[in-house]
Structure 1
């Protein structure tokens, strides 16, 4: 009987590879966490700090250092971090060196509501509580805060944040009533009557054209009210 040595060599090689893989996998599973690394992605204004995340993990899992790798459920750890009201998303993974790393994206406030209830409005239009670690420098929203007015304010804030000039200069929005919104600017004494949250691009383009000309003519200080409520025009009231 002829022996197919090539077949036996191939079979032996497969057995060796399978054994090495099983051994490596077994050793990998027996590895323990040797450190914890918390990284914040994007905005570095920390509404939740590293120490807060550490405390959150310890409360749920105890000290994670030296915990065997096979006992970690990374998806569950992610959900625990994401349950914090300051967190938008979290990615948790274990490095080759055994370091448990968490990359966290925080929620981003774009407005601060100062009404009967006080909270931030975040970039997704959702309510976000104030942070004990950092106070966001965002426009302050006052007046009659309702569901409808809050939706409109969110649309106004989104537009403001896309425009460099408006983002730097608008410091407040006052809700007089539904479809009656007033803007307060950083350096100017006048109030801008925006009207509703419709036709924002046209309204703000008209305002910037007025502002550029009045600033050039050095007449900005003469006005106390600038109204954008009427179609395709800017109506000003002098002091």
Structure 2
């Protein structure tokens, strides 16, 4: 009887690979968490800290060090981290060395509301609590705070953040009683009456053209109010 040694070798190889795979899976499942690392993605200013994240995990899990990998539910840990109001999203994974790593994207404020209650407006137009760790340098929103006015303010803030000149110079937005808006600038004494949120691109382009000319003529200090409310015009009130 002749044996086909190639078939036998293949059969033995399959058994060895299967055994190694099963052994590897068993060792991998038994691997415990040796350390926890928190990384903040793309964040220069930290509105929450690594200590705060670890405290949140301890409150929910009583600590994750030395917990076997098979007992970890990474999606659940991500959702726990995302319950923090400063967190936009979280990604959690376990490294080969047993390091539990959390990559966290923070919410980014674009305006600060100073009314009966104080909070940030974030990049998605949602309310975001103030942080004890860092104060964002964003325009201050004052005046008559309502649901509708906050929607309008969000639209204005988006335009401001998309323009380098406006982002560097606008420090405040005041909401008037008739839901019209007034801008305050960092270095100038005048205020800008924006009116409503219609035709913002045209209004801001007109203002920048006025600003460039007034800067060249050295007349910026002569004005008290600059109004953009009227159709395609810049109307100025002198001091």
SS of match in other structure, 1:214:
helix
Equivalent residue, structure 1, for 2:75: 75
SS of match in other structure, 1:25:
helix
How does the TM-score come out when normalised to structure 1?
0.98
Offset at residue 3 of structure 1 (A): 2.7
SS of match in other structure, 1:177:
coil
Aligned length: 239
Equivalent residue, structure 2, for 1:186: 186
Change (3 A) 1:128 1:31: same
Equivalent residue, structure 2, for 1:235: 235
Q: Equivalents in 2 of 1:199, 1:9: separation in Å? A: 77
The gaps in structure 2 that reach 5 residues or longer are none
Equivalent residue, structure 2, for 1:125: 125
Equivalent residue, structure 1, for 2:49: 49
Q: Equivalents in 2 of 1:59, 1:22: separation in Å? A: 35
Would you say the 8 A contact 1:169–1:185 is kept in 2?
yes
Query: Runs (4+) of structure 1 moved beyond 3 Å?
Result: none
Offset at residue 7 of structure 1 (A): 1.5
Equivalent residue, structure 1, for 2:61: 61
The CA RMSD over aligned residues, in Å, is: 0.9
Q: Equivalents in 1 of 2:122, 2:178: separation in Å? A: 21
Would you say the 8 A contact 1:39–1:104 is kept in 2?
yes
The gaps in structure 1 that reach 5 residues or longer are none
Alignment of 1:16-165 (within 5 A): 16-165=16-165
How does the TM-score come out when normalised to structure 2?
0.98
Q: Equivalents in 1 of 2:4, 2:233: separation in Å? A: 92
Would you say the 8 A contact 1:194–1:228 is kept in 2?
yes
